[in-house]
Structure 1
Amino acid sequence: MKTRFLVISLIVSSFICFSQSLYMPLEFQKAYQQGTRKWDGSVSPTYTQNRSVYKIKASVDPHGKLLKGQADITYYNNNVDTIRNPTFHTYHDYYKPTSRKAGFFNRGENAFLDHKGVLITKIIVDGEAVDLRDEEQAFYGGTNYTIRLKKPLAPKATMQLNIEWQYEIPGNGFERSGAIDSTSMFIAYWYPEMAVLDDIDLWDRIVYDAATEFYHDYSDYEIELTIPDNFMVWASVAPANPQEVYSTVIQQRINQARSSKTPVTVYGEGDFRKTASGNKTWKYTATDFPDFAFALSDHFRWDARSYTDAMGEYFINVAYPINHPEFGAVLESIEKSLQVFHTQFPVYPFPYRYFTIFNGLQGGGMEFPGMANDQEISGAMIEQWTGQKVSDADAQLGLTLHEMCHMYFPFMMGINEKKYAWMDEGFASFSEYFIEQVFPSGNWDQPYLGSQRVLPIMVPSHIAEGSGLNSYTIGSQSYISLYQLLGKDVFLKCLHAYMNEWKHKHPTPYDFMFVFNRVSGQNLNWFWNNWYFDWGYMDVGITGVKGNVITIENKGGRPVYFKVMLKFTDGTSATEEVSPAVWKSLKVYNHKANVGKKKIQSVQLVVPLSGDADAQNNMWISK
């Protein structure tokens, strides 16, 4: 027993030693000292998180662009501490003219000058009415309400909230959720959502300004949506009452699609009706979901099919206007994305067996549990932009793959996107590393990658205005380098441990890093420091070539993975890969190329996905 205890003590001590060489703010230190987080990255037995059960009845007037809702929310305090001031979000307050808007979303559309935000007409907490205008009872901050409880919520107890609200569905210029045209809309962040209470920051009271995204607990949903009966509705899950909302013909087509490997048109132009004869109530049940979204239209086509592989069976759907016929190819893009997820990265079952992509955005895409709202990118568009001929499915693949990857990160993994956007956007962008790029990488300067706006990644995303570079480009480059440093097998072993242990919880960057340290059996702190904590940028450059030795300087400091592209005087060429491990203790690396008796004509350094700030020093040509 003593020997075993000694061994365990040494192992724990080594993890603490590894961990303590990383900078750690006091909020995190407190969590480790109190034992709610563990130095080896595993989930502490004292870790807790709260949850809610939402029972929501809502109606949508598509023509009047009005949503009205009533919610009964049961909030479970699984914490060991008493709650006195719970917070909930009203994200559509973002549209009020007085609300803060950040980054490229700060456009000030005239359409929102009179937007009233979320109008709460009634709120009752544990049987007692709350006056939100009375600061003794509630406090409003941006897109958050904090209630001052008359009776504090004890540990392991529940609280009941009854809320009635309404808001105008935003139109032209909306961000992520709103009306696409006169009778088509994507509805998200539409209900008062309980904020996350975690062991690092306590209540999430970050004001939503659209520059960063969201942070959700895992909850249960019982939803009833009353909508005119000439509208089709798509949601995070399939309806629980299909016989009540689908005609017999539509049900037959759905059944056909569920057993078909090729697209089936479930709802097409021949099914559209301009006027309603009444309303339908769509009912949904979702368990352990981070959020719930839906979309509706009276003139969107719906195609669906089945996809099956060794990891399971999936029912995949697309909805799009008939004047965007190319969008139907997104079903093939979804299939190709599932193949990437199940065989290359993350090699883990896709979390949502029912999945829909809605063609609603004009630029980019946005993820929701079980859904995405994406723009159309056709093969013709790619050919116009790049001169390259690609299929419609391949044109849409990068965006589809990216948004679907979010079903893992953050929705399965419970990441705080507001603070650590690189933990989900970075992984989603990293997934694109495994497909052929329709926008080929080039050897051109990208000085913005090394600009003064690029802060260390660990600066919380909502604080840094230029955090988009860290979230997408630099975050994904760090994962590419980590993948190449560890190799596919070790990387996936570490990743799967992280996913299995922290699924449906709230991991922080330290949990992620400590799991990789533990499972890989390596002290990777030099890597974490250089990528996530220290100042620097991505830039490697050739300083000289002598014989077969190429001298390369890491000018930006980031331990990047790169390729050495060689051309020889006899007309042949070769490519050699260089692991980020060379930068563990070196700033200048002498690469000995395997040239045999050949003479080098030229050398080019290539960082994947054009991830080098200064490309002028990446090329050497023999004189």
Structure 2
Amino acid sequence: MKLLSRNLIGLFLLTFCFYLQAQDVKEDNQDLFNDVLYRQGNVYRTASGKPGPEYWQNRADYEIEAELDDVNHTLTGKITITYTNNSPEQLEFIWLYLEQNRFTEDSRGTLTTPTEGNRYNGDVEGGYKISNLKVEKDAAEHLITDTRMQVFLDEPLKAGGKDVEISMNFTYKIPVEGMDRMGRLDVNDGTIYAMAQWYPRVAVFDDVTGWNVEPYLGAGEFYLEYGNFEYAITVPYDHTVVGSGLLQNPKDVLTKTQQERWKKAEESDQTVYIIKPEEVGTAASHPEKSGKVTWEFEMENTHDVAFASSKAFIWDAARINLANGKKAMAQSAYPKESDGQKAWSRSTEYTKASIEFYSKTYFNYPWKSAVNVAAEIGGMEYPGLSFCSWRSKEASLWGVTDHEFGHNWFPMIVGSNERRYAWMDEGFNTFINHFSSNAFNNAEYPSQLEKTRRIVPYLKKETRQGIDTYPDMTNLRNLGYTAYYKPATGLMMLREYVLGAERFDKAFKSYIKTWAFKHPQPADFFNHMENVAGENLSWFWKGWFYGNKNIDIAVNNVEQKEGGYSIELSMEGEIPMPVKLAVTYTDGSSEEINLPVEIWQRGDTWSHFLSTSKTIQKVEFDPNKQISDIHAANDTWEKE
């Protein structure tokens, strides 16, 4: 019996092979549905897209004292960093970023900037001078390489929560052009100093890469550890300083009138002046009449701080009503040149509305203030503070303000790696900006991100690049698409077309809550969205987020059969998609057909039988134009 069974099995297999050879077998599309990344979980990051039972991240707490010289345009300071090693391995050295070294003639960023220049031009007369570097108050060996500094430890820093103190003095010349992220702007009443990347910052040591030490070139932004900040900025007596976090010594730096106005603003939904336009440059605008004044700030659980200083600032504020019932302060600082109801006089209104919307919709704003500063910067975000163009007005000012404060959620709260994965902050932020804009003041400045086919001209270009291209490697003409609009459009398609708003929103909000103040990787986002939404989306991540593939679904033919119609579809592009069809009958009635994405697993064509006694007039794919299908001409079949 055993021999007979083997013979029968062999005969079956042989017959089946001949049968296959006799058929015109087409290769299937399973590869399009396979995972694009290694997404299996481990003890640090789970397969469900959550921090694992042994997830860890290190910590950096900062104490900084700095002085601004507005004659020589320099910043001089002393910094003390308490670095905590929560990793499972001991560390023999610690890497820090010295990003002001970008502003030198021989920096990698300077040498990789095209001769014709670009957005990330920078001065070349700057760079850090580091002195008195100590570890645990003893002189320490260090090595500076471009925008990175390696500090060597005499004794390895043990694992499991041990900490070490690093201190140093620093000074540098403040650039005029700080690569559209920081710098100096001269206006009639003085100079505006927009100060960012202004102190040595600890690089991230994580479970994925170890030390993240990519050089600061230009387009790539930041990846930093969380901690608490105490910083004090000494400036000339007639300067106003605004900064990330909460001002700690208002009685020392504000007049009694300004303190009263501040208290009024804390209780007001309407904008209140702290320094009025007519007070700029007058003796009434500052409590001291000569010398220097120190402004002190604190900010908890953040990975960075920034500040601005000038004697040219108009300063106003209003209360922010947070979703958890707590309050914060929206503030704006801008010169007279930016004043006016069509311009920066509405900045605090915009800031307040933006923070309130994202707090209510996604995750509560965790800090006590949000400051918008007018500067010679198109738009750049830091925790609790943004720099926006002093020339912006109306829709332009709303758009840049809303975008930069949206960044407080990505990557300030959800701390992704901007230097590698710009789409995880710029793209996600552009996506949430859509809803904030449409909610503001009855859509005074409406978004059109839902018009997903507006991106099609870019998708057809031979010079296009994938979302996964590192920002510093991306052609700057493509960066707006790869980092901002293509990933945002992808999320829009996922929400409106693939998953539906309810499933998407639950998963997206869960991702934010799960990874708040942590360091997610792309696979963590993919895994979390899939597990909460309950959908395998490998085909979507692989097709839209990696490479240059496109969507092109065609309705090729509609043929009448007994009892109904056969609708012939094909996938002309390389990204599969669920298929939504609108069927219109000759009597004017219509119905919708929804076919799952799995119809494309076996091949590039599919036939759907529609049982009906009516006569079909037209069949249209994606009737609401929710998909960035690159060829609209083949979306529709219509009866002649």
Normalising by the smaller structure, the TM-score range is 0.7 to 0.9
- Please, which of 342, 351, 364 is the counterpart of residue 349 of structure 1? 364
Tell me: CA distance 1:109–1:512, structure 2 relative to 1, closer, same or farther (3 Å): closer
The aligned residue for residue 510 of structure 1 is 523
TM normalised by structure 2 equals 0.79
Tell me: CA distance 1:146–1:411, structure 2 relative to 1, closer, same or farther (3 Å): same
Tell me: CA distance 1:105–1:483, structure 2 relative to 1, closer, same or farther (3 Å): farther
The aligned residue for residue 130 of structure 2 is 120
Q: Tell me whether 455-464 or 411-420 shows the greater mean CA deviation.
A: 455-464
Structure with max Cα Rg = 2
The aligned residue for residue 5 of structure 1 is none
For residues 338 and 261 of structure 1, what CA distance do their matches in structure 2 show?
A: 13
For residues 118 and 467 of structure 2, what CA distance do their matches in structure 1 show?
A: 29
For residues 218 and 356 of structure 1, what CA distance do their matches in structure 2 show?
A: 20
Tell me: CA distance 1:118–1:494, structure 2 relative to 1, closer, same or farther (3 Å): same
What amino acid is aligned across from residue 135 of structure 2 in structure 1? Answer: V
Which runs of structure 2 are paired with 1:213-362 in the superposition (5 Å)? 213-273=221-281, 277-308=290-321, 310-312=323-325, 313-324=327-338, 325=340, 326-338=343-355, 340-342=357-359, 345-346=361-362, 348-362=363-377
Q: Is the 8 A contact 2:414 2:520 kept in 1?
A: yes
Q: Is 2:57 aligned against 1:49?
A: yes
Q: Is the 8 A contact 1:406 1:424 kept in 2?
A: yes
For residues 576 and 396 of structure 1, what CA distance do their matches in structure 2 show?
A: 41
**Gapped runs of 5+ residues in structure 2?**
1-32, 284-288
Q: CA deviation at 1:426?
A: 1.0
Q: Tell me whether 254-263 or 302-311 shows the greater mean CA deviation.
A: 302-311
Q: Is the 8 A contact 2:618 2:637 kept in 1?
A: no
**Gapped runs of 5+ residues in structure 1?**
1-19, 131-136, 380-391
- Please, which of 158, 163, 174 is the counterpart of residue 169 of structure 1? 174
TM normalised by structure 1 equals 0.81
Q: Is 2:582 aligned against 1:557?
A: no
Q: Is 2:128 aligned against 1:138?
A: no
Q: Tell me whether 54-63 or 561-570 shows the greater mean CA deviation.
A: 561-570
For residues 302 and 549 of structure 1, what CA distance do their matches in structure 2 show?
A: 68
Q: Is the 8 A contact 1:220 1:287 kept in 2?
A: yes
For residues 336 and 612 of structure 1, what CA distance do their matches in structure 2 show?
A: 34
How many residue pairs match? The answer is 575
Q: Deviations over 1:539-571 (max 9, x none)?
A: 55665688999977654434579998999999x
For residues 539 and 45 of structure 1, what CA distance do their matches in structure 2 show?
A: 43
Q: CA deviation at 1:496?
A: 2.8
For residues 276 and 130 of structure 2, what CA distance do their matches in structure 1 show?
A: 38
SS of 1:58 mapped into structure 2 = strand
- Please, which of 91, 104, 117 is the counterpart of residue 107 of structure 1? 117
SS of 1:43 mapped into structure 2 = coil
Q: Is the 8 A contact 1:421 1:471 kept in 2?
A: yes
Tell me: CA distance 1:307–1:72, structure 2 relative to 1, closer, same or farther (3 Å): closer
For residues 495 and 366 of structure 2, what CA distance do their matches in structure 1 show?
A: 22
The aligned residue for residue 384 of structure 1 is none
SS of 2:270 mapped into structure 1 = coil
The aligned residue for residue 73 of structure 1 is 81
Q: CA deviation at 1:297?
A: 1.8
Q: Is the 8 A contact 2:414 2:515 kept in 1?
A: yes
SS of 2:155 mapped into structure 1 = coil
Q: CA deviation at 1:58?
A: 0.2
Q: Is the 8 A contact 2:452 2:628 kept in 1?
A: no
For residues 336 and 580 of structure 1, what CA distance do their matches in structure 2 show?
A: 39
Q: Is the 8 A contact 1:401 1:431 kept in 2?
A: no
What amino acid is aligned across from residue 83 of structure 2 in structure 1? Answer: Y
Q: Is the 8 A contact 2:555 2:620 kept in 1?
A: no
Q: Is 2:490 aligned against 1:473?
A: no
Q: Deviations over 1:570-608 (max 9, x none)?
A: 9x999989898588647567899x9x9896699996656
Q: Deviations over 1:214-234 (max 9, x none)?
A: 001101111111011111111
For residues 573 and 323 of structure 1, what CA distance do their matches in structure 2 show?
A: 59
Q: Is 2:430 aligned against 1:429?
A: yes
Q: Is the 8 A contact 1:582 1:589 kept in 2?
A: no
Q: Is the 8 A contact 2:555 2:619 kept in 1?
A: no
Q: CA deviation at 1:235?
A: 0.7
Which runs of structure 2 are paired with 1:443-482 in the superposition (5 Å)? 446-465=456-475, 466=478, 468-482=480-494
For residues 293 and 213 of structure 2, what CA distance do their matches in structure 1 show?
A: 36
For residues 429 and 89 of structure 1, what CA distance do their matches in structure 2 show?
A: 28
Q: Is 2:174 aligned against 1:160?
A: no
The aligned residue for residue 218 of structure 2 is 210
Q: Is 2:426 aligned against 1:411?
A: no
Q: Deviations over 1:430-476 (max 9, x none)?
A: 11332256576597684433445544434544454455522211111
